[in-house]
Amino acid sequence: MLDAAHADLVAAEPLVRASDLAEYRRGLDRHMRGEWDGERFTAFRLRFGVYGQKQPGVQMVRIKIPGGKLSPAWLRTIASANRQFAQGDAHLTTRQDVQIYSVALDRSADLLDLLYSNGITTREACGNTIRNLTACALAGACPRELVDAGKVADQLARAWIRHPLVQNMPRKMKFTVSGCATDCGHSSIHDLGLIAIEKDGQQGFRVMVGGGLGGQPRAAIEVLPFVAETELPAVIEALARLHQRYSDRRNRNAARVKFVVKRFGEEKFRTLFVEEFDRVRALPQRPWDGLEWHKPLQAAVSRAPVGLIAARDGSTAVSVLVPLGILSSEQLDSLADIAIAAGVSDLRCTREQNLVFLGVAADKVQQLVAGVTAIGLQVPASSEEVATVISCPGTTTCRIGITNSQNFARQAFASAQNDPLAKGVSVHVSGCQNSCGLHHVADFGLHGAAKKVDGRSAPHYQLHFGGDANIGVVGLGGPTIPAKLADQALGLLRKSLAETREKGESVRGWAERLGKDGIDAILAPLDASQADGLFVDWGDATDFPGAPQAKGECAAPFAMDLCYADLADDALISADRNLVVGQDDQAKAEAARALTFALRRLLHARGVGSEDDITLAAAESQVVSLWSDVAAIGQALASVDVAKVQSAEAYREAVAYALDTAAEAVAAPAAPVVAAVGDLNALFEVAE
């Protein structure tokens, strides 16, 4: 139980603790010995970035890189981890994580040991948590930035990692930070977006909430026009508490923050947020290191910056195009060597699956470019001189992927290299509707689907046109075409765009002007009857099996015991924070809430469910009856009753003792059944 002393309430957290690894080893051991079933262990391991693949018996491990901030040493460690424990290449993701694949479960703890001992975390990279905080592609170098968004993301990640409030939320939350109003962090498609601004001579952030993609894309709304940087932890706390309070734990498909906004309406949600923010910012928060703010300079804006970029400090940022974000262990090692030789200590992985070297001195630029070119990567002149193609892994590893998006994207990228019309055009590919490949926010987006052709299931892609995350525009949905014709379709679309686009017209505007009939006319040359291997997906050797039946882990299962334990700990911490500021009545109320969660945990352990509106008295009455065989529980509750009329401090201590007692009772092995000779009824009752 997390029994925080007052002095520790606002202590900063490191990304890695030795206790993280010890906790994971204990959980893995309990699962291997059969104490934890698959569902409970799944909920547990996901919090440590260990994610089940479609291939049985192996895991994808997601490495969390807050703000995309990497060092050469981290590149070496990831290379070593991939070489020793995984199979295939590493993958830079659209959320600035690094993923490695096909890790045997029984070796996963040793892999985490290697990462953690070198300062790299996987904690809360998956599961119903605050996922990796992302930032602008050129954070730390962009002349336009007011502040380094990557550093903001990193500091916020450290402020909330391990906090019990965000360990078992109704669903995940995705946050981003932008260093200026250009919003290259793409706030519009995130649960929470923070945009650095200057208002009335003060520097701070605009707060956007409730965006998201997937099956029901929705743009974020502004909830606060301005907050000071020191109030950012309170912004996150306010949103997390609203998410815990109002999101739907039963219908996992409607449990993201955007559905809470939809449920209440924008104005009511905004009111709820401001009320909660005003409440929690009056309480102690974890410390905030002041940011270094800059005077912004004029510079060109690029949706997917690559090439040589003049940085704010006079150095050069070298943005390397990494096709589909795929890097071998050898390339990772070489990139570390190249960085060190060029005197670079700060790199950033980007949402476009590229890699940026920051702070490159003028006399080292060509040396660095030659180095990355020698290992098969590119440093184009600019993003307008190259096609942007990004993709999720799809069916290469994902349980719920429908199409082999990654192998199709390889083909799309190869074709784009030979098509001058592909320059400056973005193509994003997702293996299903969930938009891990960000298909909603590309010039041309594609998401995988299964569709029958002559009674047989064949891989298909639905097309999307003209999405732009910088301005919060979701692509216009278009026709669905066979996967084997998708590359040809992209060629036809690029040709028509180049020939018929009007001056100043966006891709979405172009598609809207053409309409359904116009798009169909462009794609008319596609002939499914002439497609080779219509029923075999890109990169596959066997017929398409149809949409997967496997259960994915994007919506992580709940282990309600862990959930109740974390919520009880969070409520007790809230009691402590209220005591610090002299709000004794509220401290008692929070302590009572902590006790209620502990009692619900005890009910759950005996197979009795409880609703969120259960009263403390009702929960206590049921626990006293169900746990009459454990005297310590009754004694702890009796102590709480005595402390009710005493000071808030005394009540808090009694509740803390009750929480510890509940935890011990739940963890204790079941008592053996002792029956009289010939008395089979007792054994049958236990079996029932």
Query: What digits encode the pLDDT tens for the residues 440-482?
Result: 999 999 999 999 999 999 999 999 999 999 888 999 999 999 9
Q: How far apart are CA 239 and CA 563, in angstroms?
A: 18
CATH number of 1-126: 3.30.70
**Which residue is listed with tokens 């098969």?**
376
State how far the Cα of 684 lies from the Cα of 56, in Å rounded to an integer.
Answer: 37
Question: For residue 676, what pLDDT band results from cuts at 50, 70 and 90?
Answer: low
Order the strands of the 58-63 sheet from edge to edge. 50-52, 58-63, 98-104, 90-92, 326-327
Nearest residue to 133 (alpha-carbon basis) of 124, 145, 142: 124
Q: Characterize the bridge pairing of strands 388-391 and 426-430.
A: parallel
d(CA 23, CA 610): 28
What is the CATH architecture assignment of 388-530? 2-Layer Sandwich (3.30)
Q: How confident is the model at residue 4 (pLDDT cuts 50, 70, 90)?
A: very low
Q: 309: pLDDT confidence band, cut at 50, 70 and 90?
A: very high
Has residue 1 got a pLDDT over 70?
Answer: no
C-alpha of 482 from chain center: 31
The count of other CB atoms within 10 Å of the CB of residue 527 is: 10
Q: State the pLDDT at residue 190.
A: 97
Say which DSSP state 542 is in: S
Q: Cα separations (Å) of 205 from 152, 181, 195, 278, 285?
A: 11, 10, 5, 16, 18
- For the domain made up of 145-296, give the CATH fold: Sulfite Reductase Hemoprotein; domain 1 (3.30.413)
At residue 3, does pLDDT exceed 60? no
492-505 average pLDDT score: 97
With 80 as the cut, is the pLDDT of residue 276 above it? yes
Q: What is the pLDDT of residue 661?
A: 97
Q: Which residue matches tokens 């070198």?
A: 118
Is it the case that residue 679 has pLDDT exceeding 60? Answer: no
pLDDT value, residue 173: 97
- Does the structure show a pLDDT above 80 at 536? yes
User: What's at 602, amino acid-wise?
Assistant: L
Residue with tokens 């009824």: 681
The two tokens of residue 408 are 């199709």
Q: What is the mean pLDDT of residues 177-183?
A: 96
Task: State the chain's mean pLDDT as an integer.
Answer: 93
pLDDT tens profile 636-672 = 999 999 999 999 999 999 999 999 999 999 998 766 5
The pLDDT of residue 681 is above 60: no
Domain 307-384 fold? Sulfite Reductase Hemoprotein; domain 2 (3.90.480)
Give the pLDDT of residue 384.
Answer: 82
Strands (E), 287-336: 307-310, 316-320, 326-327
pLDDT tens digits along 247-268: 998 888 899 999 999 999 999 9
> H helices of 132-172, where?
149-160
Mean pLDDT of 350-355: 96
Gap between the Cα atoms of 277 and 192, Å rounded:
14
DSSP H helices, 12-130, are 18-32, 38-46, 72-85, 108-116
* CA distances, 354 to each of 91, 334, 611 (Å): 10, 16, 46
Nearest residue to 64 via CA among 23, 112, 13: 112
pLDDT for residue 547? 92
The two three-digit tokens of residue 490, written as one number: 């992209």
What is the distance between the alpha carbons of residues 1 and 565, in angstroms, rounded to a whole number? 8
The whole-angstrom distance between residue 148's C-alpha and the CA centroid of its chain comes to 21
In whole angstroms, what separates CA 446 from the centre of its chain? 21
Question: What are the DSSP calls for 406-456, one per residue?
Answer: HHHHHHHHHHHHT-GGGTT-EEEEESSTT-TT-GGGSSEEEEEEEEEETTE
pTM passes above 0.85: yes
> How many Å apart are CA 300 and CA 633, to the nearest integer?
66
Distance CA 431, CA 324 (A): 14
Q: In angstroms, what CA-CA distances link 421 with 214, 380, 495?
A: 29, 16, 7
Burial code (b: 16+ CB inside 10 Å, e: under 16) for 37-75 equals: eeebbbbbbbbbbbbbbbeeebbbbbbbbbbbbbbbebb
DSSP 8-state symbol, 143: T
Residue pLDDT, tens place only, 566-624: 999 999 999 999 999 999 999 999 999 999 999 999 999 999 999 999 999 999 999 99
441: number of Cβ within 10 Å: 26
- Asked if residue 381 has pLDDT above 90, the reply is no
The whole-number average pLDDT for the span 390-413 is 97
Q: Are 324 and 406 in contact (CB under 8 A)?
A: yes
Residue 357 token pair: 């070297």
Strands (E), 431-541: 444-453, 456-465, 476-482
Amino acid at 198: E
The structure tokens listed for 460 are: 């298909």
Q: What does the pLDDT average to over 81-86?
A: 98
The region that residue 374 occupies, defined by phi over 0 for left and psi between -120 and 50 for alpha, beta otherwise, is alpha
The answer for residues whose C-beta is within 8 angstroms of residue 322's C-beta and 6 or more apart is 92, 353, 354, 355, 377
- The pLDDT confidence band at residue 684, using thresholds 50, 70 and 90, is very low
Order the strands of the 444-453 sheet from edge to edge: 388-391, 426-430, 444-453, 456-465, 476-482
Helices vs. strands in the chain: H and E counts, helices first: 19, 20
Alpha helices in 418-535 (DSSP H): 486-500, 507-522
Token code pair at residue 592: 């009572």
